[in-house]
C-alpha cells in the first residue's frame, strides 16, 4: 500500500514557548490504515494532528523544522482550502465546531465550500445521514441537541466531504459511554465500507483498540512507540510508565505475564480474552 | 512563520511588521468580526435597554468598550464590527430600522479614531505609560463628540425626532453616555487582555492583518 | 414551536408559508411608510394592522409587553424634548404655562406626529424579529444575492451572541454558587460587577475565535485565494421557493408604497392639516 503521509524529522515550536511541542517526529502512514494515537495530555498529539491537515503552520505562528508530506506534497505547498478536501478533522469540542443554524446546514457547509453542485450535495447528504443516523435531527439548531449528537454531526459533516484521510482528535472526550460507543460504531462501519485512512487520537482505548491496525504512542513530544496493535500492547511496562492504561483485558493478561502465569500474545478484546482463558483452562485440565 | 518574539515587546514593536514576517487576511479575521458583533450585540443591547435616553441614545452605553477596544486590537475588522453591531442592539432595544442604519457613520468614527490613534502614535495597548492613557482618553473624547454631532444633528434632526432646542441634551447624552462608559470599561479591558491579544494571530498590526 | 429571533412561533403559523424575502421586504418598505405620513391616525391604523398581522401569524403577543417600557420612555423623551426643552416661541399658540414651562399647541402636535411615526416603525421591526428564524434572515439575504461572507458573518454573530449570553449566565451562576448576590447593591457596585463580567466574556470569546477558525478551515472555508471564489450551490435556498402569494404580497407592498407617495405628494393626503385626530385634540386642549 502506498504511503500517503510522510513526516520526516519534524518539529514544531509554538511562538513564545521555550521548547518545541513536538520534535524528531518520523512517521509514515499507509493508505487505508486505521491508526490509533495515544499519549498523556500535553504530549503533542493534537499538534501532530494539526500538522497533517495544515492548520499548523497555516493558522498558528511558530518555528517549523523538517517536512510533513501528504500525498507526496508538503502541506505548506497546498493552496488554501485544497488540503482540507483531502484531510478532514473532527475536533474534541463539539460546541466549537458547529457554525451553522441547523444540523442540515452544518452537514452541507463543507460541501458548498468545496464547490459541489446541488445533485452531488444531496447524494452525499443522504449517504452520510444514513451512515450516522441523523435523520431526526436535520432541522434542529445546534443548541437543541446533546453533546453526543453534536459530535455525531461534526463527524458526519467531515465525512460528507469524503476526505481521503480522516483525523479525529479526541472525538469522544466530552461524551458519555453510550454516545462514545455510537461514534465508534460509525468508525467501524466506515472501516468496513470505505478505504479511508483514519487517525484517531483517543484516551478511551476500549473502543479504539479493536479497530486500530496500528498504534502510535506520543510521549514528551516525540514518538515513543509505533507498532501494529498486537505488538504495541505487548510492551505493557513501557505503556504503564508512559501513563497509558491499556484496556482491562490487556492489563489482566499483562499482570498474568508478570506473575509468570502467561507467556503468549495479549488478547485485544474481551472476547479474545475469554477464548484465551478457555484455552488456558483446557491446558491446565489436560495437565491435571 | 514568525521567529520567536522577545518576551517583552515595546510599543513600537507591537505595531511593526518585522522583516520576514508574513501577515495576511484570513478566516480568523472573519471570525473575529463575527464574534465582536455578537459580543457587542449583547453588551450594547444591555446598555440600550438599561439606560435609555431615546432613539438609541443612552446615558451609559456599555457597547462603547466593544466598539473602541475591538478596533484597537483588530483594526479594520473591529471598525466594521463596531459600526455594525449597534444596528442590531438598537433594533432589539426598539430603535427604528432606518434610524439605526443612519447611525452607522457615527459608530464607525467612534471605532476608527482610537484604532487610528494607537497605530499612528505607536501607543501601547497594554497601557504602559501616561501617554497611552492620555491619547486614548483624547481619542475617546473626540470620537464621541463627532459621533454625537452626526447622530443628533444629522440623524435625529433628519427624522424630526428632536426639536432644535433639545439638541444639546441629546448631544450631551450621547457624548456623556459614551465617555463615561468608556472610562469605566476601556482602560480595564486593555490592561487586562492586551498582553494576551497581541500574541494571537487575530491581532492586527496594520489595518487588515 | 419554532424559535425566532425574538421568541417562539407555533409550527402551524401561516407566516412560515411566506418566503423569507417577503418578510424582509415588508420590513424594509413598510418601515418607510410613517416617514411620509404626518396625520397620526393613519400611523395608528398602520400600527394596528401590524398588530393584526402578528396575531394572524400566531406571534406570542406577550412579547409586545417588553416594548411597553420602551414606548413609554420614548414617548416621555419626545414629549419632554418638544415641550419642556421646546424653548420659547411667541409665534406658537400657548396652551398653558406651568412651573415656568410653556406648553405650545404646535409643539404638542409635533410631538404626537413624531411619536406616532416612530411607533409603527418599531412595530414593523418587532413583527419581523418575531416571525423570522435565524435561517429565514440568511435565506432572505442570500435571495438578494448578498455575498456569502456577509450572510455568514451575520449567522456567526447570532451564534456568538447566544454563546455570550450563555457564558454570562454561567459566570453569574458560578458567583451565586459562591454565595454572591448583587440584589440590593448600589449602582456603582453593580457597574463594577459588570466590568468584572466583561473581562472573562471577552477572554472566552477570544479563545473561541481560534476554535471557530480551525473548524471553518477544516471544513474547507477560505476567505482569500481560489477557494474563496468557488461558486456555492446555496443548498439552503432549495428549501424555499416563491409561491404565487409571495408575488402578490410583494406587489401589494410595492403598490401600497407607490400609492402612498402619489397620494402624499400628488394630492396632499396624510398631512397634519387634514388630521381629524389632531383637530379633535386641539379642540379639547384649547
Please, which pLDDT band fits residue B1 given cuts at 50, 70 and 90?
very low
CB atoms A113 and C230 under 8 Å: yes
Chain C environment of B164 (Cβ under 8 Å): 87
- The 10s digit of each residue's pLDDT in B115-156 is 999 999 999 999 999 999 999 999 999 999 999 999 888 877
**What residues in B contact A62, CB-CB < 8 Å?**
1-2
Q: Which three cell numbers stand for residue A191?
A: 472501516
Collect all residues of chain C within an 8 Å Cβ-Cβ radius of residue B30.
149, 152-153, 156, 216, 223
pLDDT averages per 10-residue partition of chain C, 286 residues: 75 88 94 92 95 91 81 83 80 86 88 90 88 88 89 87 82 78 70 77 86 90 80 88 94 96 94 91 88
* Phi, psi angles (nearest 5°) of residue C147: -55, 145
Name every residue whose Cβ is closer than 8 Å to that of residue A134 and which is 6 or more positions away in sequence: A103, A107, A128, A149, A152, A153, A156
**pLDDT: is A284 or C212 the higher one?**
C212
Q: What mean pLDDT comes out for the span A66-93?
A: 91
Assigned CATH class of A3-246? alpha beta
Size of interface A-B (CB pairs under 8 A): 24
Q: What is the structure's pLDDT at C33?
A: 94
Q: Is C230 on the interface with A (CB under 8 A)?
A: yes
Q: Tell me the CATH number for domain B11-197.
A: 1.10.1760
Domain residue ranges of chain B, discontinuous segments joined by +: 11-197
In whole angstroms, what is the distance from residue A227 CA to residue A213 CA? 9
**What distance in Å separates residue A110's CA from the closest CA in chain B?**
14
Nearest Cα of chain A lies from the Cα of B72 at a distance, in angstroms, of 21
Please provide residue A87's backbone torsions phi and psi, each rounded to the nearest 5 degrees.
-125, 115
Answer yes or no: is pLDDT of B178 > 60.
Answer: yes
> Given this model, what pLDDT does residue A216 score?
96
Nearest to C198 by CA among B79, B190, B131, A101: B190
Q: Does B195 lie at the interface with A, CB-CB under 8 angstroms?
A: no
Asked if residue A270 lies in contact with residue A251, where contact means CB atoms within 8 angstroms, the answer is no
**Are the beta carbons of B87 and B100 closer than 8 angstroms?**
yes
* Exposure string for B135-162, b = 16+ CB within 10 A, e = fewer: bbbebbeebbbbbbbbbbeebbeebebb
State the DSSP code for B152: I
Determine whether the interchain pair A62/B2 forms a contact, defined as Cβ–Cβ distance below 8 Å.
yes
Distance, in Å, from the CA atom of B128 to the CA atom of B8, rounded to the nearest integer, reads: 12
The sheet with strand A62-70 has its strands ordered as A22-30, A3-14, A62-70, A73-74
pLDDT at residue B6 in the model: 46
State residue B204's pLDDT score.
Answer: 95
Sheet-wide strand order for A197-201: A87-90, A165-169, A197-201, A34-38, A214-219, A222-228
| Residues on chain C touching A102 (C-beta within 8 angstroms) | 135
More confident residue, A285 or C95: C95
Where in chain A is CATH 3.40.50.300? 3-246
Whether pLDDT at A10 is above 70: yes
List of chains touching C (3+ CB pairs within 8 A)? A, B
Mean pLDDT of A75-84: 87
Per-residue pLDDT, B48: 62
Q: What is the mean pLDDT of chain B?
A: 86
Quick check: C105 and C93 in contact, CB under 8 A? Answer: yes
B4 touches chain A (CB under 8 A): yes
- What cell was used for C5? 429571533
Diameter over CA atoms, chain C: 72
User: Tens digits of per-residue pLDDT, A265-280?
Assistant: 899 889 999 999 998 8
Cross-chain CB nearest to B200 (options C31, C191, C206): C206
Query: C234: alpha, beta or left, given left = phi > 0 and alpha = psi -120 to 50?
Result: left
Q: Mark out the alpha helices in B94-103 (DSSP H runs).
A: 97-102
Residue B56, pLDDT above cutoff 70: no
- Which pLDDT score is estimated for B22? 76
Q: C95 phi and psi, to 5 degrees?
A: -90, -40
Tell whether the model's pLDDT for residue B3 goes beyond 60.
no
pTM summary value: 0.86
Q: From chain A, which residues contact B within 8 Å (Cβ)?
A: 13, 15-16, 57, 59-64
Which has more confidence, B97 or A248?
A248
A172 or C193: which carries more pLDDT confidence? A172
Q: What's residue B49's pLDDT? A: 59
Give the model's pLDDT for residue B4. 44
Residue B178's nearest CA partner among B148, B136, B208 is B148
Amino acid at each position: 500500500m502506498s504511503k500517503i503521509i510522510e513526516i520526516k524529522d519534524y518539529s514544531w515550536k509554538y511562538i513564545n514557548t521555550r521548547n518545541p511541542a513536538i520534535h524528531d517526529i518520523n512517521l509514515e502512514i499507509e493508505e487505508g490504515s486505521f491508526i490509533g494515537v495515544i499519549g498523556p495530555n500535553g504530549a503533542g498529539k493534537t499538534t501532530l494532528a494539526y500538522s497533517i491537515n495544515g492548520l499548523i503552520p497555516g493558522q498558528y505562528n511558530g518555528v517549523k523544522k523538517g517536512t510533513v508530506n501528504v500525498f507526496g506534497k508538503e502541506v505548506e505547498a497546498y493552496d488554501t482550502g485544497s488540503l482540507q478536501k483531502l484531510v478532514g478533522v473532527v475536533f474534541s469540542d463539539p460546541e466549537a465546531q458547529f457554525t451553522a443554524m441547523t444540523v442540515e446546514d452544518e452537514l452541507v457547509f463543507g460541501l458548498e465550500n468545496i464547490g459541489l453542485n446541488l445533485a452531488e450535495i444531496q447524494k452525499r447528504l443522504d449517504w452520510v445521514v444514513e451512515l450516522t443516523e441523523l435523520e431526526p435531527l436535520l432541522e434542529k439548531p445546534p443548541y437543541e441537541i446533546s453533546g453526543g449528537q453534536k459530535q455525531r454531526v461534526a463527524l458526519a459533516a467531515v465525512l460528507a466531504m469524503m476526505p481521503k484521510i480522516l483525523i479525529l482528535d479526541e472525538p469522544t472526550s466530552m461524551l458519555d459511554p453510550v454516545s462514545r460507543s455510537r461514534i465508534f460504531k460509525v468508525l467501524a462501519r466506515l472501516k468496513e465500507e470505505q478505504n479511508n485512512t483514519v487517525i484517531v487520537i483517543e484516551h478511551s482505548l476500549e473502543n479504539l483498540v479493536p479497530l486500530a491496525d496500528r498504534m502510535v504512542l506520543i510521549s514528551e513530544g516525540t514518538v515513543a512507540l509505533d507498532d501494529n496493535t498486537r505488538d504495541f500492547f505487548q510492551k505493557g511496562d513501557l505503556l504503564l510508565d508512559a501513563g497509558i492504561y491499556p484496556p482491562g483485558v490487556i492489563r489482566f493478561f499483562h499482570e498474568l505475564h508478570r506473575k509468570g502465569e502467561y507467556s503468549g500474545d495479549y488478547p485485544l478484546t474481551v472476547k479474545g480474552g475469554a477464548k484465551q482463558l478457555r484455552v488456558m483452562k483446557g491446558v491446565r485440565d489436560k495437565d491435571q | 512563520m514568525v521567529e520567536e518574539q522577545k518576551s517583552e515587546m515595546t510599543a513600537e514593536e507591537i505595531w511593526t511588521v518585522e522583516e520576514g514576517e508574513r501577515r495576511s487576511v484570513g478566516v480568523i479575521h472573519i471570525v473575529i468580526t463575527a464574534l465582536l458583533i455578537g459580543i457587542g450585540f449583547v453588551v450594547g443591547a444591555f446598555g440600550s435597554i438599561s439606560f435609555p435616553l431615546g432613539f438609541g441614545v443612552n446615558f451609559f452605553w456599555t457597547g462603547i468598550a466593544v466598539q473602541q477596544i475591538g478596533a484597537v486590537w483588530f483594526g479594520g475588522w473591529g471598525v466594521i464590527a463596531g459600526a455594525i453591531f449597534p444596528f442590531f442592539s438598537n433594533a432589539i432595544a426598539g430603535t427604528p430600522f432606518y434610524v439605526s442604519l443612519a447611525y452607522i457613520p457615527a459608530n464607525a468614527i467612534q471605532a476608527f479614531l482610537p484604532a487610528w490613534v494607537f497605530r499612528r502614535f505607536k501607543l501601547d495597548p497594554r497601557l504602559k505609560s501616561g501617554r497611552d492613557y492620555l491619547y486614548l482618553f483624547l481619542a475617546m473624547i473626540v470620537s464621541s463628540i463627532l459621533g454625537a454631532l452626526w447622530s443628533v444633528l444629522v440623524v435625529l434632526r433628519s427624522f424630526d425626532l428632536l426639536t432644535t432646542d433639545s439638541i444639546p441634551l441629546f448631544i450631551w447624552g450621547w457624548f456623556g453616555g459614551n465617555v463615561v462608559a468608556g472610562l469605566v470599561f476601556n482602560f480595564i479591558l486593555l490592561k487586562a487582555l492586551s498582553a494576551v491579544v497581541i500574541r494571537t494571530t487575530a491581532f492586527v498590526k496594520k489595518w487588515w492583518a | 414551536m419554532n424559535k425566532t429571533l425574538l421568541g417562539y412561533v407555533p409550527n402551524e403559523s401561516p407566516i412560515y408559508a411566506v418566503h423569507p424575502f417577503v418578510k424582509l421586504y415588508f420590513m424594509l418598505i413598510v418601515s418607510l411608510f410613517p416617514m411620509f405620513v404626518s396625520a397620526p391616525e393613519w400611523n395608528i391604523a398602520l400600527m394596528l394592522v401590524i398588530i393584526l398581522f402578528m396575531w394572524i401569524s400566531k406571534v406570542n403577543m406577550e412579547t409586545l409587553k417588553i416594548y411597553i417600557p420602551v414606548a413609554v420612555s420614548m414617548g416621555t423623551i419626545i414629549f419632554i424634548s418638544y415641550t419642556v426643552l421646546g424653548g420659547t416661541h411667541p409665534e406658537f399658540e400657548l396652551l398653558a404655562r406651568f412651573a415656568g414651562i410653556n406648553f405650545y399647541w404646535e409643539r404638542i402636535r409635533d410631538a404626537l406626529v413624531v411619536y406616532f411615526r416612530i411607533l409603527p416603525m418599531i412595530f414593523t421591526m418587532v413583527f419581523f424579529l418575531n416571525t423570522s428564524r435565524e435561517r429565514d434572515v440568511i435565506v432572505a439575504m442570500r435571495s438578494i444575492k448578498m455575498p456569502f461572507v456577509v450572510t455568514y458573518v451575520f449567522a456567526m454573530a447570532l451564534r456568538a451572541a447566544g454563546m455570550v449570553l450563555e457564558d454570562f449566565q454561567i459566570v453569574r451562576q458560578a458567583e451565586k454558587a459562591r454565595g454572591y448576590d448583587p440584589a440590593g447593591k448600589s449602582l456603582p457596585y453593580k457597574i463594577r460587577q459588570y466590568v468584572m463580567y466583561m473581562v472573562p466574556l471577552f477572554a472566552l470569546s477570544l479563545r473561541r475565535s481560534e476554535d471557530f477558525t480551525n473548524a471553518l478551515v477544516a471544513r474547507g472555508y477560505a476567505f482569500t485565494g481560489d477557494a474563496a471564489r468557488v461558486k456555492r450551490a446555496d443548498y439552503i435556498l432549495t428549501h424555499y421557493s416563491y409561491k404565487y402569494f409571495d408575488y402578490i404580497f410583494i406587489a401589494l407592498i410595492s403598490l401600497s408604497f407607490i400609492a402612498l407617495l402619489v397620494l402624499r405628494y400628488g394630492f396632499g393626503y396624510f398631512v397634519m392639516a387634514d388630521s381629524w385626530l389632531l383637530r379633535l385634540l386641539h379642540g379639547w386642549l384649547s
